[in-house]
Structure 1
Amino acid sequence: MSVEHEKETTANWMKEAQKGYIRVAVLILLNNKSSHGYEIMKEIKNRTRGFYKPTPGGIYPILTNLEKNEYIIGNWHKQNNRKIKTYSITEKGKIILRNTIVKQSEIANNINALFQEFARDVLNIESAETPFPVMPSPFAAFLGGETKKPTNNKELEHQKTQLKQHIRILQKKLRIIEKAQEEKKSENELF
């Protein structure tokens, strides 16, 4: 496979994923407050620090699809002598959003397990030696990221286990550094 083909394939995959992420981001934003299309585009760009830059040609078909499926509802009103359609999430949309966030969490956990397997089998790195970064949710910017509270005891236990593992790894590395410092200090005292 050529480098160009790899780049093109990666770009296509990311474009497909981006559409799905933006769809969910729209629901998250509308779950917080009703908004019109331009506000939604601006908020997505701001929340993702410019990583996602939705265009009218990208966002309005998503809004139309979400409205057609009754996940959101749009209402026309006048603002500064202009007609503006403001969207709100429906109960059906809230259910889909909740299910999507739960599923995304499962996917992130599975992807993290694959990263660890790859590191172990291909890179010969054991997870006990190196803490693996936890794959962030693509919706972290919309959900408050790390400030989001775990929804159940299983999530709390998982976070606790991960933190304990990171602490053990850091303590081990600290002992290695302290030992090396002691050796250097002893060497310096000899001379």
Structure 2
Amino acid sequence: MSITSDLIRGNTETIVLSLLRNRDSYGYEINKTIQDRTGGRYELKEATLYSVFRRLEEAGLILSYWGDEATGARRRYYSITPAGREAYEQNLKDWQEAKEIIDKLI
């Protein structure tokens, strides 16, 4: 069964915040983690992922900085802010409430 984008689309910011809770990361690595965790059933388009980064950064929920890789291209890393952690926790509560309601309706 394939996961439809419509079911996930409204939660991409929460997914990214969730992945940044444990450590800083960069775009390719975040998308690879999403693919791995879903067994390849879901991935974000690059444009979508970087739009999410832009929105989260503008809202003060994440910060970005350039890595100092010795070889290869420099990577832009993202880290979650305290406000981002709070937003994640609230989004998680909202998701759990919505899931409970949907479970009762379907």
Q: With the length of structure 2 as denominator, give the TM-score of the two structures.
A: 0.87
Distance of 2:72 and 2:30 partners within structure 1: 21
Q: Per the alignment, in what secondary structure is the counterpart of residue 23 of structure 1?
A: helix
Q: 1:34 aligns with which of 17, 21, 24?
A: 24
Distance of 1:16 and 1:66 partners within structure 2: 20
Aligned to 2:81: 90
Equivalent position amino acid for 2:100 in 1 = N
The CA deviation at 1:49 is 1.3
The CA deviation at 1:84 is 1.1
What do the CA deviations read for 1:90-128 (whole angstroms, capped 9, x no partner)? Answer: 01100110001111111111111112xxxxxxxxxxxxx
Q: With the length of structure 1 as denominator, give the TM-score of the two structures.
A: 0.50
Q: 1:60 aligns with which of 47, 50, 73?
A: 50
Which structure is higher in RCO with an 8 Å CA cutoff and minimum separation 6? 2
Distance of 2:36 and 2:72 partners within structure 1: 27
Mark the structure with the bigger radius of gyration: 1
Aligned to 2:105: 114
Distance of 2:8 and 2:91 partners within structure 1: 15
Equivalent position amino acid for 1:65 in 2 = R
Where does the alignment leave 5 or more consecutive residues of structure 2 unmatched?
none
CA RMSD of aligned residues (A): 1.4
Number of equivalenced pairs: 102
The CA deviation at 1:62 is 0.8
Aligned to 1:19: 9
The CA deviation at 1:16 is 4.4
Where does the alignment leave 5 or more consecutive residues of structure 1 unmatched?
1-13, 116-191
The CA deviation at 1:81 is 4.5
